[in-house]
Amino acid sequence: MEEMSRRSLLELEALMKKKLLAAGLPEAAASETAAHLTFADACGIHSHGAVRMDYYAERLVKGGITLEPNMSFEKTGAATGIFHGDNGMGHYVCNEAMAIAIHLAKEAGIAAVGIEQTSHSGTMAYYVKQAAEADLVAIAMCQSDPMAVPFGGTENYFGTNPIAFAAPRANHPPVVFDMATTVQAWGKILDARSKKQQIPDTWAVDEHGLPTTDPYAVQGLLPIAGAKGYGLMMMVDILAGSMLGLAFGKQVTSMYADLTEKRRLGQFLLVIDPSRFTNIETFKQSIDQMVTELHAIPPVEGQSQVYYPGEISQIHFEKAQQEGVMIPKAIIDYLESETLHFDRYGSQDSFAK
User: For residue range 1-11, what is the model confidence (pLDDT) as tens digits?
Assistant: 679 999 999 99
Distance CA 226, CA 212 (A): 17
pTM of the predicted model as reported, rounded to 2 decimal places? 0.94
The C-alpha torsion from 256 through 257 and 262 to 263, rounded to 10°, is: -60
DSSP line for 204-242: EE-TTS-B---TTS--EEPBTTTHHHHHHHHHHHHHHTG
SS3 string, 5-52, reads EEECHHHHHHHHHHHHHHCCCCHHHHHHHHHHHHHHHHCCCHHHCHHH
Enumerate domains of the chain plus CATH numbers: 69-280+310-323 (3.30.1370.60)
Choice among 46, 48, 84, 120 that is catalytic: 120
176 has which bridge partners?
A: 166
Distance CA 47, CA 15 (A): 18
Query: With contact defined as beta carbons under 8 Å apart, do 200 and 158 qualify?
Result: no
Mean pLDDT of 11-18: 98
Report the largest interatomic distance among the alpha carbons of the chain, rounded to a whole angstrom.
55
| pLDDT > 90 fraction of the chain, expressed in percent and rounded | 87
Amino acid occupying residue 68: E
pLDDT(352) > 80: no
pLDDT(350) > 80: no
> Is 103 an active-site residue?
no
Mean pLDDT of 83-88: 98
pLDDT digits (tens, 9 = 90+) for 114-139: 999 999 999 999 999 999 999 999 99
Which of 185-189, 217-221, 227-231, 262-266 shows the lowest mean pLDDT across its residues?
Answer: 185-189
pLDDT(347) > 90: no
Taking alpha carbons only, the member of 127, 159, 66 closest to residue 268 is 127
